[in-house]
Amino acid sequence: MFRLCRTTVPSIAFNRVRSFHSTNIKMAVQELKNLEEFQKAIASSKLSVIDFHATWCGPCKAIAPKVQQFSEEFTDAAFYKIDVDEVPDVASKCEIKAMPTIQFYKDGKKIQEVVGANVGAIQQAVTANI
């Protein structure tokens, strides 16, 4: 009589990769690896914020996310970090005695410094010098 027609549908899950492109440009905190990179970074007329830190420093680790946030929020400034153990010549030249120390530069000149994990003082220094 009538045959049953069966249609077999493969059970393949479609896995499409979607790419998302944000229009917001997030600035990253750039790691400076030597004296030449440091000198180039601070020579700008744009505010340069230098975070002197160490991998073993607890307060440095505590403020790192805020420094990253500031780099995304204050795009008129350039944010950098220097590991004092990896680049001791720059740390010595900048007379770093405690960590974290955040120094602020414009046109190659140090204009301000915050010693310690004082997030409010860092934010105030950035806004005052942009």
More confident residue, 45 or 1: 45
Omega within 30 of 0 (cis) for the link into 100: yes
Residues that are catalytic: 57, 60
The residue range of the domain holding 125 is 30-129
In a domain, 51, yes or no: yes
In a domain, 58, yes or no: yes
pLDDT of residue 23: 45
Cα–Cα nearest to 94, from 106, 79, 80, 84? 84
Name the band, by pLDDT with cuts 50, 70 and 90, for residue 103: very high
In a domain, 8, yes or no: no
In a domain, 87, yes or no: yes
* Residue 73 in this model has a pLDDT that exceeds 70: yes
In a domain, 114, yes or no: yes
In a domain, 12, yes or no: no
CATH number for the domain harbouring residue 66: 3.40.30.10
In a domain, 17, yes or no: no
Q: pTM to 2 decimals? A: 0.78
Helices 58-73, 119-129: inter-axial angle, 10-degree rounding:
30
pLDDT of residue 19: 45
Q: How many domains does the chain have?
A: 1
